[in-house]
């Protein structure tokens, strides 16, 4: 079974702090994704990575950066957290291929005070 893990289930941070969210997958997937989920808005893609050190911006990259130094690990960084970044963050991975599904981690609920 595919396993995607995220470093924290719940996180509370203060405005202005630098926040790291880490995601690890164990199925050698090429693609990894970071989403943000807010009620009524569905999932919105923040960043996508298709290979080590490769990344593409999604729909809402402002205020975020990412790092992929190893194939299995994809980190989301909030350089200076703000209250409007309070949200649920979901990491996903998939194989390359049009029909391939994305496998998700359990999510991190981030509260920025």
Give contact residues for other proteins (rule: CB under 8 A): 9, 31, 40-45, 48, 50, 56, 58, 88, 90, 92, 94, 96, 98-107, 109
| Residues 46, 61: Cα–Cα separation, whole Å | 5
Please identify, using beta-carbon distances, which residue of 15 and 38 lies nearer to other proteins. 38
Residue 54's alpha-carbon distances to 5, 42, 45, 62, 68, in angstroms, are 21, 26, 16, 18, 7
Decide whether 14 or 28 has the Cβ nearer to other proteins. 28
Least separation in angstroms between residue 6's CB and other proteins is: 10
The minimum distance between CB 60 and other proteins, in angstroms, equals: 12
Between CA 78 and CA 73 the distance in angstroms is 17
Picking from 78, 62, 66, the residue whose alpha carbon sits closest to that of residue 32 is 66
Which C-beta is closer to other proteins: that of 58 or that of 63?
A: 58
């Amino acid at each position: 079974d595919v396993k995607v893990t995220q470093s924290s289930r719940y996180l509370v941070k203060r405005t202005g702090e630098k926040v790291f969210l880490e995601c690890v997958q164990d199925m050698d997937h090429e693609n990894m994704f970071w989403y943000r989920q807010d009620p009524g808005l569905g999932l919105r893609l923040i960043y996508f990575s298709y290979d080590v050190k490769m990344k593409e911006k999604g729909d809402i990259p402002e205020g975020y950066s990412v790092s992929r130094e190893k194939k299995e690990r994809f980190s989301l960084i909030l350089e200076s957290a703000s209250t409007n970044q309070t949200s649920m963050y979901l990491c996903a991975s998939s194989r390359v291929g049009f029909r391939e599904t994305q496998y998700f981690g359990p999510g991190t609920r981030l509260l920025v005070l």
